Amino acid sequence: MSDPASAFGPLGLSDETIKLLTTPKPPPAEAASPNVLEASTTGQQVAPGESSITLYAELLLHIRTVTLFASLKSSHAHETKANLSSEGCEVTITHEGERATIRLPVKATGGGDAALSFPASPSSKELTLRLQIEEQEGSDFLRGDLAELRKLNIVPWDGASLNEREKVEVRCKSCSTVVVAEGEVREWRDLPNENWAEMMDFWHCHKPDEHHLHDHTHEEHMEKKGYAAGNKLAAQEGIGFVDLTSFLLFPRDCEGAEISGEDSVLVCKHCKHTLGTTDEQASGWRIWKWCISIPSTSSSGSSSALHDSSPRISTYSVQKWISARLLYLIENSGLRKFQVYSFTNTTPSGTVPSLLLWVFTPDLIFSSSLPSEDRRDPTRALKVFYQAQEYTPSRDGAQASSTVEEVEFPEELYKELGWELVKSQALLPMGARQFQGWEVGLLGRFDPAEVI
């Protein structure tokens, strides 16, 4: 098997950047991702018995059209056929005795095993078809409540949803060791927007629904919330503060976590998997949501536990948390270009490997004929243009550019971002993997249906 770093060759990266992006934990041997990564920019590696035809379909909601791309091992001919299933949900391509089927992101108009026509000329290995879509009766995919929710950046495990549960248990995503035991956190509180501290003086003095409170009473009321104007945010025993991608917890509530060495990284006591970081300003520990799992039901304290001692574990892929973070930044800054880096690998000259991201399409739905253990199509995603660079971060907090936002990621998250972007290129047609000097990739994002 060739070196996975070879997939980065065409990107023109430095040796140090390639080493950083290929350091993340390798996928399991049985997963398809190593072959996918090797094939990401140099063509598909076809396993014995698999079809050499690869299909990719993308739903463009604003024009209600599904664009289907087919990559063949040789130019299409008269014998090359495409058929739409009777339900309008699948398309099958047949070419030179091989066939491949793809489930469309949404039902297409037609059916009855309708034959689809390819352009007669010029003959090509890369084919494109556009299919009109129709919304099934009773569906709220394009309109209705679910369509409205889809406009929001909804993420799992907010304070309100956690409070609805009788007890919450937090486990290590890697080994399922209990990090926060059931009942240890009695209340979960959602933190406001990240910019709350800058606006707190105004909010504190002018909050309309509390103007009637006397100064002392008002101060106590705000302090109870955990983020009073006169006080810094501080972790409290038995209270879990929740933001977009992390929990702020009192250290004694996290029985399964410990500080690793002399740095501020939190790890699982059992498997040493990274869980988060210490927050000295808040005198607490920040547990990152992408590093944990939360059982959907309790396996103890109920009669049902006798019959179901293995409750369903809720966990989500890292790339969805990355997408949630990028969408949050878009909502708050209005920018779609981000210089993402990690300070961990700073060079003597002060530069760091970075990824310049351009979130070109914040919301699309795609399907691919290439299988994956961690993807179930149709898949909601961002389409991201990216360039690997060397970057000098601004250390005074000032933005280096008014059109590009500087974003620091933890090292592990930064590596995962690079890994997922390169790996995702294998899903795209060869002709759609670059655009005017940019590499093109996909990042899965949360869908209301899976969160709710």
* C-beta separation of 253 from 237 below 8 A: yes
Same domain flag for 325 and 435: yes
pLDDT in tens, the chain (452 residues): 445 455 555 444 556 555 555 554 444 333 332 222 233 333 445 454 567 899 999 997 777 789 999 999 888 888 888 888 888 889 999 998 899 999 998 887 765 566 787 766 677 888 888 888 776 665 666 667 777 888 899 999 999 999 999 889 999 999 999 999 999 999 999 998 665 554 444 444 444 444 444 455 545 555 555 555 455 789 999 999 999 999 999 999 999 999 997 778 999 999 999 999 999 999 999 999 999 999 985 444 433 333 444 556 689 999 999 999 999 999 999 999 999 999 877 777 788 999 999 999 999 999 999 988 888 899 999 999 999 999 988 876 566 678 999 999 999 999 999 999 999 999 999 889 999 999 999 999 999 888 87
Same domain flag for 179 and 289: yes
Residue type, 212: H
Residue count of the chain = 452
Same domain flag for 327 and 351: yes
Domain stops at, among 286, 314, 342? 314
Look at residue 148 and tell me if it is in a domain.
no
Q: Using the 8-state DSSP alphabet, how is residue 184 labeled?
A: T
Same domain flag for 291 and 163: yes
Same domain flag for 291 and 397: no
Nearest partner of 163 among 238, 104, 59, 272, judged by Cα: 238
* C-beta separation of 404 from 340 below 8 A: no
> What CATH number corresponds to the domain at position 254?
2.170.150
Same domain flag for 379 and 246: no
* C-beta separation of 247 from 170 below 8 A: yes
β-sheet with 246-249: strand ranges across: 187-190, 239-242, 246-249, 284-288, 274-279, 265-268, 257-259
Look at residue 287 and tell me if it is in a domain.
yes
Give the pTM.
0.79
Look at residue 446 and tell me if it is in a domain.
yes
pLDDT for residue 375: 87
* Alpha carbons 375 and 105: distance in angstroms, whole number: 13
Look at residue 61 and tell me if it is in a domain.
no
Same domain flag for 442 and 344: yes
Same domain flag for 164 and 308: yes
Same domain flag for 376 and 420: yes
Look at residue 305 and tell me if it is in a domain.
yes
pLDDT for residue 393: 85
Domain stops at, among 258, 285, 314? 314
* Alpha carbons 340 and 408: distance in angstroms, whole number: 6
pLDDT for residue 204: 46
pLDDT for residue 307: 42
In 392-432, DSSP assigns E strands to: 405-408
* Range of the structural domain that residue 326 is part of: 318-451
* Alpha carbons 306 and 309: distance in angstroms, whole number: 6
Nearest partner of 412 among 329, 243, 291, judged by Cα: 291
Look at residue 121 and tell me if it is in a domain.
no
Same domain flag for 358 and 396: yes
Same domain flag for 307 and 327: no
Look at residue 24 and tell me if it is in a domain.
no
Domains of the chain: total: 2
pLDDT for residue 316: 94
* C-beta separation of 102 from 87 below 8 A: no
- The most distant pair of C-alpha atoms in the chain lies apart, rounded to whole Å, by 83
Look at residue 20 and tell me if it is in a domain.
no
Same domain flag for 283 and 407: no
Domain stops at, among 314, 337, 355? 314
